[in-house]
Copies of this chain bind each other. A is one copy, B any other.
């Protein structure tokens, strides 16, 4: 079997190692998730089951790969941040991109029932991914702020849009026209005056997305410190968030104590 005569084709595989000493971000996006959401009766403007499944799938990825520092998700996208000095797979781009992408995708199907119960998954979903490097802490923080600013803008729009459609009986195109050119303040006012809704009272998970970070917590029974992955909805656009958190970006072993509520995800880990 002339194996050796074909093996030269291996040399066509080129090295895709990425620059050392930079944060590696892998961002996944649901492909055709507008249709996927319709096909699976996602509630509008936000489906809490879908968000929790996204978070749990991301949690499944973080649990698997210790080199991942944190993850941040919103809507049908999730960003994973590898430690600056990550040397997993010698920093080969395709490897890092695909293990995150694959584990997330398989987890999404695996845990579907846990969050959607009897709502049947009709077909396997697809997530695309990209890999981006950030050389400085400032760039990385701005990346996370950028994604969270995006949630705010989209969620305020969607919340108002679907209030107009579902409660205001406008057609989607009428609602779109109504919102065209409006500012945040205008949308807040529409929600409040026309539907009696205070946008500030919307759940944090809708307004801010979800940040998964490695923290520690003291187990009340054993009094021992336990490492956990915490799901929080902190405001990353505020500077005091980063005053506390940024040390962890540089020295991932410095874990902050978790002070927030005991979420289902956290309870599972104790």
Contact = CB atoms under 8 A, between A and B. Distances in A.
A19 B93 CA distance: 14
Interface in A116-164: 121, 123-136, 139, 142-143, 145-146, 149-150, 152-153
Interface in A89-137: 93-95, 97-99, 101-111, 121, 123-136
A1 interface: yes
A110 B139 contact: no
Contact of A103 (B19, B93, B98, B124): B124
Nearest to A121: B110
B108 A106 contact: yes
A219 interface: no
A15 interface: yes
Contact of A102 (B6, B11, B105): B105
A65 to B, nearest CB: 9
A12 B132 contact: yes
Interface of A: 1-3, 5-15, 17-22, 28, 31, 60, 64, 93-95, 97-99, 101-111, 121, 123-136, 139, 142-143, 145-146, 149-150, 152-153, 184, 237
